[in-house]
Amino acid sequence: MLVGAVVIAVSLLGLAVVLNSTIHTQNTNPGDTLEETREVEQQLQVIRTDVSRLTEQLSQRDGHVDARELRTTLIFYSDRKAEQIVDRRPAYIDVKLNENASSFDREVLRQNDPTRNIVSRTDEKDWTLAANAAFDESTPFELAIEPQDAGFPTATTFVVEGDDGGMWNLSVTQDPPNAVRVNVIYNNGTTATTTVSGSATQLNMTGGTINGTQSFAFAPGLEAPYDLQIKNGHRATGTYTIVVDEASDVKDSNFHTDPTDSQPYVSRELTTAVVDLQYVSNEVSAQSQITIQLKENSE
């Protein structure tokens, strides 16, 4: 018996959210069924709010939401929610990203493991992160990096080559006893060196900031698109994320593409996230679909 079909459109935390829900019941004890149906309706609203907030948190952190990050987040959330529900009654619940129904824009290159060297998927220390890529301060290349070496000849270096052949280098090295030195070499040969305390530092390479302080200019005079190479990636550990246009050349051999915890990985930026919800018990079954508009579709 169909007891509810609901379409709810709301605006939450700046995101456009639509919830489509259908609830079916079995011909069992009417009192128990009605009680659980009401609980399911409440749970759908709670989950809609939770999913919207989780998505907004990812968007605020990075300025975008990539499919793998949201998928992983929802798997963890779904497991926790299922534990909460089964404590009250025997029931199954599943919350997951529907990637076939979702829509996407740019590619996201990311490493989330702060203990991993900044090397390719196959542990190459000298490798190309992206080629023929357009990116700037509006699509930041952000890193939390901890150098493992105190010598500039073997420092981890990020090399940007412009479409016109111009070069821009940024190197990160230890500065004993407890500091990090960032050295930038511009295309015209001038340099800029900044030393910050601690063993690790936060870099916004395209924004030119170190630990939030403006410290250098990113690739002045170079023409986009760029090739972004990493030298001596084995001399530093850290996390990073960058968003590049689909026209960019990203080698699959350098990044994991499967939905696992392997690092580093390439994913897609979500413009619309569609999340499926399923609830099943002896008395009630419910299917719901949450649609979250993250940005204007460009496809």
Select from 116, 204, 199, 212 the least CA-distant residue to 150.
199
Please tell me whether residues 46 and 135 are part of one structural domain. Answer: no
221 lies in a domain?
A: yes
User: pLDDT digit string (tens) for 97-131?
Assistant: 999 999 999 899 999 999 999 999 999 999 999 99
Phi, psi dihedral angles at 110 (to 5 degrees)? -150, 145
208 lies in a domain?
A: yes
Please tell me whether residues 134 and 251 are part of one structural domain. Answer: yes
Phi, psi dihedral angles at 155 (to 5 degrees)? -70, 155
Amino acid identity, residue 155?
Answer: A
CATH assignment at residue 238 = 2.60.120
71 lies in a domain?
A: yes
Please tell me whether residues 137 and 253 are part of one structural domain. Answer: yes
Please tell me whether residues 85 and 162 are part of one structural domain. Answer: no
43 lies in a domain?
A: yes
Please tell me whether residues 31 and 167 are part of one structural domain. Answer: no
Please tell me whether residues 253 and 278 are part of one structural domain. Answer: no
Model confidence at 1, pLDDT cuts 50, 70, 90, reads very low
Please tell me whether residues 150 and 179 are part of one structural domain. Answer: yes
Distance CA 91, CA 103 (A): 31
pLDDT, average across residues 256-264: 83
> What pLDDT is attached to residue 50?
92
Please tell me whether residues 13 and 46 are part of one structural domain. Answer: yes
Number of domains in the chain: 2
> What pLDDT is attached to residue 128?
96
Please tell me whether residues 140 and 190 are part of one structural domain. Answer: yes
Amino acid identity, residue 74?
Answer: L
pLDDT, average across residues 230-235: 96
> What pLDDT is attached to residue 26?
54
Beta strands in 148-190 (DSSP E): 156-161, 167-174, 179-185
User: pLDDT digit string (tens) for 61-73?
Assistant: 878 899 999 999 9
110 lies in a domain?
A: no
Please tell me whether residues 170 and 249 are part of one structural domain. Answer: yes
Q: Is the pLDDT of residue 5 over 60?
A: no
> What pLDDT is attached to residue 42?
81
Range of lowest pLDDT (143-152, 249-258, 290-299) = 290-299
pLDDT, average across residues 180-195: 96
Model confidence at 10, pLDDT cuts 50, 70, 90, reads very low
Q: Which residue has the higher pLDDT, 152 or 287?
A: 287
> What pLDDT is attached to residue 258?
75
Parallel, antiparallel, or unpaired for β 284-293 and 167-174?
unpaired
Q: Is the pLDDT of residue 31 over 90?
A: no
Please tell me whether residues 94 and 229 are part of one structural domain. Answer: no
298 lies in a domain?
A: no
Q: Is the pLDDT of residue 12 over 60?
A: no
Domain of 161, in residue numbers: 115-262
Model confidence at 214, pLDDT cuts 50, 70, 90, reads very high
226 lies in a domain?
A: yes
Q: Is the pLDDT of residue 2 over 50?
A: no
299 lies in a domain?
A: no
Please tell me whether residues 241 and 123 are part of one structural domain. Answer: yes
